[in-house]
Structure 1
């Protein structure tokens, strides 16, 4: 049995669950921590989701595309993800899932980020490592945005 390639990060926030939820689904917020990308979706199960940004020369680019798999307002969302610019086939096995789950606590909340499984995707190890490194950059910026 091969090892799964799943990233799981739990981030403690002092902010309330509503504020953290807004952080992950509001395009104006995602643009500030996700390398200039806005997350765009109507957040209905089965609907598309895209992460849109601009290149250094100002050209609009879709960096990630996918679809909403699960959505529970204010609590949890899961969506598939695929970077159409990677040069690999746009087939189901090359999509990985990303889940955001907001768990209220007595003083704030936890944001549980789960991404994967990369193991059956093309360039699995490279994508897994790049995503792990990306979260290490993104999470501190998320916390800074909420003054934490």
Structure 2
């Protein structure tokens, strides 16, 4: 578990990276990441709605710091032909105060790598204007990944 913030020279922006190791098979982690509904541990308890196909819309609805939100984006890359391992989404939050325009969207890249005893999740978010913004995003995504870990490691009932 940890995170780094890198400067992508070719993109001219700061990238937030969060990583976590999960003691669960990659397919289990994939199901947690791509399931609809709400888990209190993930995305601040937001309800997630999508059909999780390439090009599909995704919506996150919930409440954060007493304010309702409805973030949205699209599934723009999906690598799960034999074993799921990468999904890339766009993400826009009206709470940012920015207009809903393509230049204000983030790209979220989730990669799932098999490791001894489980799966490593790496999440990169681009389009952060400053190092401070990237660090804030990294901290939020690290909390979200801790929630994914808690759900994925929970014994099945």
Matched, 1:21 2:39: no
More relative contact order, 1 or 2 (CA 8 Å, 6+ apart): 2
Match of 2:77 among 67, 70, 75: 70
Q: 1:47 aligns with which of 38, 52, 56?
A: 56
Q: Summarize deviations over 1:47-82 as a string: whole Å, max 9, x none.
A: 21111124788x9641x1111110123221101111
Post-superposition CA distance 1:4-57 (Å, at most 9, x none) = 311122211221011111121113465432111122111222221111124788
Higher strand share: 2
Deviation at 1:97, TM superposition (A): 0.3
Counterpart in the other structure of 1:38: 47
User: Residues 140 and 45 of structure 1: is their aligned pair in 2 closer, same or farther, counting only changes over 3 Å?
Assistant: closer
Q: CA separation of 1:133/1:48 partners in 2, compared to 1, >3 Å: closer, same or farther?
A: same
1:68-107 matches, cutoff 5 A: 68-73=75-80, 74-107=84-117
Distance 1:76 1:31, change over 3 A: farther
SS at match of 2:123: strand
What is the alpha-carbon distance in structure 1 between the residues aligned to residue 113 and residue 120 of structure 2? 5
Q: Is the 8 A contact 1:30 1:39 kept in 2?
A: no
Deviation for aligned residue 1:95? 0.4
Q: Which residue of 2 aligns with 1:138?
A: 144
RMSD over aligned CA atoms reads 2.8
TM-score by length of 2: 0.74
Aligned residues: 142
Contact 2:37 2:49 in 1 (8 A): no
Runs of 4+ deviating beyond 6 Å: none
